[in-house]
């Protein structure tokens, strides 16, 4: 901490402490000498505090904590308690320096990420030479070069070879990730291997590191309820304290035979111990430290207000596709139907199989849904020719329809067959997502796809269950698929066969039930565009940031920067510890100060105890608030600057 102090502050503190010792030991015994030396030293030591107090009073028209210290020390000087007057200022400055150090440490935990956004980029020219440019000047499609040890300034696909990338700044992973040619490398990461070249895929405004820094700005702006309360209360706090101190000093005017000096001292004790710095700093510092700790594991929380909500979570609902599962479907079964009944696989001709897949391919090629993408990839692998589909329309919540080769083709869920067409269908024993193909209102076939459950899904749900959080899954899949995943992942409850329009209403029903029964908050975890309304409606919206849509990330309160679901319960646990720490500091500070105030009002506390109750308590509270900085250990990142010298 001493390294962060300016030489002026060190000189003031040294002078103040030395003079205070000389006064207390009686080395300076002459009354005039004591008064003059104390006056000169007091002005030198107290100058920054006096200046701040006067500026706040006459420019900002408010009484600050510096004003409290000023009138308290003036009173002590008036009573000729010279060592006490200097002690108040010296220890206040020590406490203030300690606060600055702690606050800077806490901010540095998050602000260090800013260093990972380079202000220069190596743009590769057609002749292979480099031009150093600013990230905002580089357009999508430009080739850039990143040397070993440098941070990637813009998202881009790897041109050739492979790259060892340190992803810890974005997702908290300690082990370097291996990227191969064609894969997209996000910005804000560090190239740990040889020189790599990338083709820029996102401009500076939409890059991964810019998005992360925007989340950090949101986090600083959104305060928790305790923080907001303290901020509002501090405006009125000091005038109230000064008024109470004045009333305390005037007691001898009302009560006969009371000593004026004694009551004046009590008023000074009241002023010193009432300094709100311990409370005003330690609570926000607790939350900011918590934000830093959570960011270290690769989870960004958009403000301490959401830490409070996370700490009170009683239930969480999850989207299935892309959140619990990988969202990468594969075809596991194809069935041809004739006269409404499935044809045995041994009896299916190549022509029938070809007809089914060709009609399916024509319509699914027009969708971007993961199921459609999987079917298209499957058909491409089969070498099928893509036919043109006309008069295509989406049947919301059911599927898609269009004309292919002179026939009206409809593709969709089982509900399309039963609800829209009134057809019956023979169930399959295979558990998976079923897609039906209808030609001219006659069932042509069925495709079954499976989506792999993420490896981190079951461990996450197990941890949430240990935390006492009820879990829900909301999915558009059939009952059988939903039940199978819920059983495998240990999900408490699930809602199957939900239309996109049903999701929000279902979630609101869960939320109302939880708020009524549990008196807690409810979270929602999703990654797609259709999850944005539900994320916004939840008490805590959590988006999977690595593969999630921009709208989901924008609507969420918390963003998991990679695809590891186990970071969600870890973040919740850290949020609970952070909120408990903030409450602990509030109770500690208020409790001790109230006790000393009562002792002071009754005449049992002196200025020294008041100083201990102010500065000593502030140091303890701030040390306690700094604990989140050590909850999660991360390695220090070394980043090389981009320069023309290094390029050569």
Q: Per DSSP, which regions of 254-388 are E strands?
A: 299-301, 313-319, 325-338, 341-342
Whole-number Å distance between alpha carbons of 632 and 291: 11
Beta bridge partners of 157: 184, 199
Token pair 């200022």 in the structure block, residue: 89
Examine the residue annotation and report whether 259 is marked as an active-site residue of this protein. Answer: no
The Cβ of residue 262 has, within 10 Å, a number of other Cβ atoms equal to: 12
- 442: closest CA among 337, 350, 333? 337
At 547, list the tokens: 């593969």
Rounded (to 5) percent helix, strand, coil in the chain: 55, 20, 25
Q: Which whole-number Å values give the CA distances from 81 to 18, 45, 281, in the listed order?
A: 16, 16, 29
Question: Which tokens in the block code for residue 379?
Answer: 């058909």
Pull the structure tokens for residue 103. 């606050």
Hey, which bits of 147-301 come out as E strands?
Answer: 156-158, 162-166, 177-180, 184-185, 190-191, 196-200, 299-301
- Up-side HSE of residue 537: CA atoms within 13 Å toward CB? 18
Which residue out of 81, 319, 477, 563 is catalytically annotated? 319
Q: How far is the C-alpha of 13 from the C-alpha of 218, rounded, in Å?
A: 38
For the record, the structure tokens of 368 come out as 């971007």
DSSP 44-83: HHHHHHHHHHHHHHHTS----HHHHHHHHHHHHHHTT-HH
Classify burial at 300, counting beta carbons within 10 Å of its beta carbon; exposed 0-12, middle 13-18, buried 19 or more.
buried
Question: Residues 6 or more apart from 110 whose CB is under 8 A from it?
Answer: 216, 219, 288, 291, 292, 295
Beta strands, E only, 533-624 = 540-544, 558-560
State the DSSP code for 648.
-
CA distance 520 to 464: 15
Q: Where are the beta strands (DSSP E) in 440-551?
A: 442-453, 470-474, 493-495, 521-526, 540-544
On whether the CB atoms of residues 607 and 87 are closer than 8 A, the answer is: yes
CA pair distance 562, 616, nearest whole angstrom? 42
Could you count the other beta carbons within 10 Å of the beta carbon of residue 500? 14
Measured in whole angstroms, the distance separating CA 368 from the mean position of its chain's CA atoms is 29
CB 445 within 8 A of CB 337: yes
Whether the Cβ atoms of residue 292 and residue 110 lie closer than 8 Å to each other: yes
Structure tokens at 293: 């700790």
Instruction: Using only the alpha carbons of the chain, give its radius of gyration.
Output: 33
User: How far is Cα of residue 212 from the mean position of the Cα atoms in its chain?
Assistant: 10
Catalytic residue IDs: 319
């Amino acid at each position: 901490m001493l390294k962060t102090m300016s030489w002026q502050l060190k000189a003031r503190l040294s002078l103040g402490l030395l003079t205070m010792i000389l006064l207390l030991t009686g080395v300076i015994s002459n009354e005039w000498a004591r008064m003059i030396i104390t006056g000169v030293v007091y002005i030198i030591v107290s100058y920054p505090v006096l200046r701040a107090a006067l500026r706040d009073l006459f420019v900002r028209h408010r009484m600050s904590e510096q004003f409290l210290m000023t009138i308290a020390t003036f009173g002590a000087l008036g009573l000729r308690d010279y060592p006490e007057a200097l002690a108040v200022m010296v220890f206040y400055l020590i406490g203030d320096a300690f606060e600055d150090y702690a606050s800077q440490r806490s901010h540095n935990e998050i602000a260090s990420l800013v260093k990972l956004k380079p202000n220069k980029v190596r743009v590769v020219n057609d002749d292979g030479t480099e031009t150093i440019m600013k990230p905002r000047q580089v357009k999508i499609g430009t080739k850039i070069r990143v040397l070993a040890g440098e941070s990637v300034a813009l998202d881009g696909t790897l041109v050739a070879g492979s790259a060892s990338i340190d992803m810890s700044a974005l997702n908290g992973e300690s082990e370097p990730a291996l990227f191969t040619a064609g894969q997209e490398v996000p910005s804000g990461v560090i190239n740990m291997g040889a020189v790599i070249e990338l083709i820029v895929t996102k401009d500076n405004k939409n890059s991964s590191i810019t998005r992360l820094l925007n989340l950090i700005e949101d986090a600083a702006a959104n305060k928790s309820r305790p923080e907001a309360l303290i901020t509002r209360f501090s405006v009125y706090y000091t005038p109230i304290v000064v008024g109470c101190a004045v009333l305390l000093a005037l007691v001898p005017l009302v009560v006969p035979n009371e000593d004026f000096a004694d009551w004046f001292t009590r008023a000074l004790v009241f002023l010193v111990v009432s300094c709100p710095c311990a409370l005003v700093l330690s609570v926000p510092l607790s939350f900011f430290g918590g934000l830093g700790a959570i960011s270290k594991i690769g989870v960004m929380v958009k403000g301490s207000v959401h830490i409070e909500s996370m700490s009170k979570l009683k239930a969480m609902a999850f989207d299935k596709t892309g959140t619990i599962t990988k969202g990468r479907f594969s075809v596991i079964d194809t069935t041809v139907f004739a006269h409404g009944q499935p044809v045995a696989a041994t009896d299916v001709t190549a022509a029938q199989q070809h007809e089914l897949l060709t009609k399916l391919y024509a319509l699914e090629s027009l969708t971007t849904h993961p199921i459609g993408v999987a079917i298209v990839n499957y058909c491409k692998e089969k070498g099928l020719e893509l036919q043109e589909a006309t008069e295509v329309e989406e049947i919301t919540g059911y599927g898609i329809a269009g004309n292919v080769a002179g026939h009206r083709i409809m593709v969709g869920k089982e509900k399309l067959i039963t609800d829209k067409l009134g057809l019956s269908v023979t169930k399959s024993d295979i558990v998976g997502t079923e897609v039906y193909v209808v030609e001219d209102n006659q069932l042509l076939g069925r495709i079954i796809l499976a989506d792999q459950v993420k490896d981190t899904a079951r461990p996450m749900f197990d941890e949430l269950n240990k935390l006492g959080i009820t879990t829900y899954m909301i999915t558009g899949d059939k009952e059988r698929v939903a039940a199978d995943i819920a059983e495998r992942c240990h999900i408490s409850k699930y809602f199957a066969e939900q239309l996109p329009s049903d999701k929000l209403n279902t979630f609101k029903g869960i939320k109302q039930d939880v708020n009524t029964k549990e008196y807690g908050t409810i979270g929602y975890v999703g990654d797609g565009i259709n999850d944005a309304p539900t994320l916004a409606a939840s008490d805590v919206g959590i988006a999977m940031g690595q593969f999630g849509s921009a709208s989901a990330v924008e609507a969420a309160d918390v963003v998991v920067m990679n695809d590891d679901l186990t970071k969600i319960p870890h973040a919740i646990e850290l949020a609970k510890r952070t909120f408990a720490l903030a409450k602990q500091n509030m109770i500690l500070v208020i409790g001790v100060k109230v006790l000393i105030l009562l002792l002071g009002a009754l005449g049992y506390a002196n200025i020294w105890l008041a100083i201990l109750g102010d500065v000593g308590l502030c140091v303890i509270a701030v040390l306690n608030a700094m604990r989140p900085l050590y909850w999660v250990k991360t390695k220090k990142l070394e980043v090389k600057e981009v320069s023309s010298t290094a390029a050569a």
